[in-house]
């Protein structure tokens, strides 16, 4: 099977081949040192050395790229030390890197790749769009069709506009809320990610847009309500991910999200659900699943069929501000907002591929995978857990219950490094931080292979990943 051949190609018999030499192995009769940081650091270093040896072409590409791009990179999330893999191509659920290794793609382009690589229906739609000419310099027949699909799928979106990314969608939604309310403050949550210039991992990022942000604790309704009371009259918007995605796949508790709905209504702030990631959790997004109607919603990722895409929409009374026929209308520009490739790919993806039944099957598979992983971690006594909802998962190197980003702080971040390099060596592709987003091309065989690989890694690495 592919995974075995990858293991061979990466030059590793098994991850055990990179464990500490015998002289450093604990005496079997003495009680083994648990989670020894020295042994772990050595082992991660060895796993990285094996990665370097197995990937000379990726390394060469990285070094060439670093001569013309800072860190050889144009998308920070993709970087990791010693250098990121350079991916040559993808097909269905598989990826190949430039050194010829094959991977099962569990990352799914950070959730935008829900259709798998080069789905024939989407490919045909893009080819048809190409045949009709791109960059048409005008309204086209596709944009209103995709808009109708989006509005039908998410009933809280009465009117919608397109952008080129989820980041841009959130920027526009915030601008709309500020214009609508005449207020300036924006309530956001610790650990939230709403795009490259709207990032709140450890407080607001230095590159963030200079809005007047108020930071609130995720899943803590009492403290958030207190902040809303304090800033109520000045609050233009509450911007929230119904599940912290980049922050570690931490679901927003329904009572917390419902409390935000009530509080926003009470103070007249615009409640914006950032469903760029979570909209895939049911045909109507997370909002449909838990029955909460935000004032505005932002979308992105897969809805453009895998092409550059973003959208913001919501109540007609807010979105109408962008109607150019209205006096004093807000402008919303963007050369590629209605680009025919994204529009065509999106229509094909949403109508021909991502049917409600397909989406339900995908999310059920994700839930089964997460349950199987957690059962296996418990069985092995490993200091690991998988969080998330449906087809979106994140691995954490801690056993404590996770309700917010502080809970998710890894007991020892090096454990996740080791798991990452061991999985890569076995032909499983995921984000360095442990994030995974299943695509429709991933089947039961692939998820079972992942559980088996992690089981084997835990048995091989034993005490390093927290087993007794």
Rank residues 43 and 337 by Cβ distance to ligand PLP and give the closer one: 337
What are the residues facing 297 on neighbouring strands? 273, 313
> Is 301 annotated as catalytic?
yes
Question: What is the x/- site pattern for ligand PLP, positions 372-411, by CB under 6 A?
Answer: ----------------------------------------
Residues in region 147-166 near ligand PLP by CB under 6 A:
165-166
Rank residues 167 and 412 by Cβ distance to ligand PLP and give the closer one: 167
Does the footprint of ligand PLP cover residue 238 (CB under 6 A)?
A: no
> Is 202 annotated as catalytic?
no
- Taking the alpha carbons at both ends of the chain, their separation in whole angstroms is 32
> Containing H/E element for 437?
strand 435-437
Does the footprint of ligand PLP cover residue 307 (CB under 6 A)?
A: no
Contact with ligand PLP (CB under 6 A) among 227, 276, 299, 369: 276
Strand positions, DSSP E, 228-375: 235-240, 243-244, 250-251, 270-274, 296-300, 310-314
Does the footprint of ligand PLP cover residue 245 (CB under 6 A)?
A: yes
Size of the site for ligand PLP (CB under 6 A): 16
Contact with ligand PLP (CB under 6 A) among 101, 119, 161, 194: 194
Report residue 168: phi and psi, to 5°. Answer: -65, -40
Contact with ligand PLP (CB under 6 A) among 46, 190, 241, 295: 241
- Give how far Cα 442 sits from Cα of 106, 406, 437, Å: 8, 31, 10
Contacts of 213 (CB under 8 A, 6+ apart): 185, 186, 187, 188, 200, 204
Active-site position among 48, 185, 301, 315 = 301
> Is 274 annotated as catalytic?
yes
- Give how far Cα 44 sits from Cα of 41, 95, 135, 275, Å: 5, 24, 48, 35
Sole residue written with tokens 């950032």? 274
Does the footprint of ligand PLP cover residue 274 (CB under 6 A)?
A: yes
Does the footprint of ligand PLP cover residue 108 (CB under 6 A)?
A: no
The SS3 of residue 453 is helix
Does the footprint of ligand PLP cover residue 189 (CB under 6 A)?
A: no
Q: Give Cα 150 to chain centroid, integer Å.
A: 20
Active-site position among 105, 274, 410, 417 = 274
Does the footprint of ligand PLP cover residue 191 (CB under 6 A)?
A: no
Rank residues 310 and 388 by Cβ distance to ligand PLP and give the closer one: 310
d(CA 196, CA 166): 9
Does the footprint of ligand PLP cover residue 167 (CB under 6 A)?
A: yes
- What DSSP letter does each residue of 402-416 carry, written as one string? -SSTTTTS-S-HHHH
Does the footprint of ligand PLP cover residue 195 (CB under 6 A)?
A: yes
Does the footprint of ligand PLP cover residue 193 (CB under 6 A)?
A: yes
CA nearest neighbour of 189 among 173, 165, 213: 213
Q: Which residues are catalytic?
A: 193, 274, 301
Binding site for ligand PLP (CB under 6 A): 110, 165-167, 170, 193-195, 241, 245-246, 274, 276-277, 300, 310
């Amino acid at each position: 099977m592919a995974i075995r051949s990858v293991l061979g190609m990466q030059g590793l018999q098994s991850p055990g081949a990179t464990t500490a030499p015998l002289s450093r192995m604990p005496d079997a009769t003495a009680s083994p040192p648990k989670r020894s940081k020295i042994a772990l650091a050595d082992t991660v270093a060895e796993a990285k050395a094996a990665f370097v040896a197995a990937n000379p072409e990726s390394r060469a590409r990285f070094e060439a790229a670093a001569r013309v791009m800072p860190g050889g990179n144009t998308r920070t999330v993709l970087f990791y030390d010693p250098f990121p893999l350079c991916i040559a191509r993808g097909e269905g659920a598989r990826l190949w890197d430039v050194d010829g290794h094959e991977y099962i793609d569990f990352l799914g382009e950070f959730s935008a790749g829900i259709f798998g690589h080069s789905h024939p229906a989407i490919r045909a739609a893009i080819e048809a769009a190409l045949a009709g000419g791109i960059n048409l310099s005008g309204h086209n027949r596709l944009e209103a069709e995709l808009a109708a699909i989006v509005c039908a799928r998410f009933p809280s979106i009465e009117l919608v506009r397109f952008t080129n990314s989820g980041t841009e969608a959130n920027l526009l939604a915030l601008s709309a809320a500020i214009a609508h309310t005449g207020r300036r403050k924006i309530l956001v949550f610790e650990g939230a990610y709403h795009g490259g210039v709207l990032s709140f991992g450890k407080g607001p990022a230095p590159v963030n847009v200079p809005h007047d942000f108020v930071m609130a604790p995720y899943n803590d309704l009492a403290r958030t309500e207190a902040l809303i009371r304090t800033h109520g009259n000045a609050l233009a918007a509450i911007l929230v991910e119904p599940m912290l995605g980049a922050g570690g796949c931490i679901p927003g508790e329904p009572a917390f999200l419902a409390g935000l709905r009530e509080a926003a209504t009470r103070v007249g702030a615009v409640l914006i659900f950032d469903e760029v990631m979570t909209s895939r959790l049911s045909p109507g997004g997370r909002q449909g699943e838990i029955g909460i109607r935000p004032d505005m919603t932002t979308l992105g990722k897969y809805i453009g069929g895998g092409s550059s895409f973003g959208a913001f929409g919501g109540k007609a009374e807010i979105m109408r501000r962008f109607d150019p026929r209205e006096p004093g209308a807000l402008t919303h520009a963007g050369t590629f907002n209605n680009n025919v490739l994204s529009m065509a790919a999106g229509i094909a993806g949403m109508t021909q591929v991502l049917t409600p039944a397909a989406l339900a099957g995908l999310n059920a598979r994700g839930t089964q995978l997460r349950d199987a992983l957690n059962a296996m971690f418990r069985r092995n006594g490993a200091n690991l857990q998988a969080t998330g909802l449906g087809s979106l998962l994140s691995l954490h190197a801690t056993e404590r219950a996770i309700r917010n980003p502080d809970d998710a702080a890894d007991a020892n971040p090096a454990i996740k490094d080791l798991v990452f390099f061991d999985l890569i060596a076995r032909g499983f592709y995921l984000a360095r931080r442990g994030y995974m987003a299943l695509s429709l091309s991933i089947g039961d065989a692939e998820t079972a292979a992942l559980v088996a690989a992690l089981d084997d890694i835990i048995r091989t690495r034993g005490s390093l990943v927290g087993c007794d």
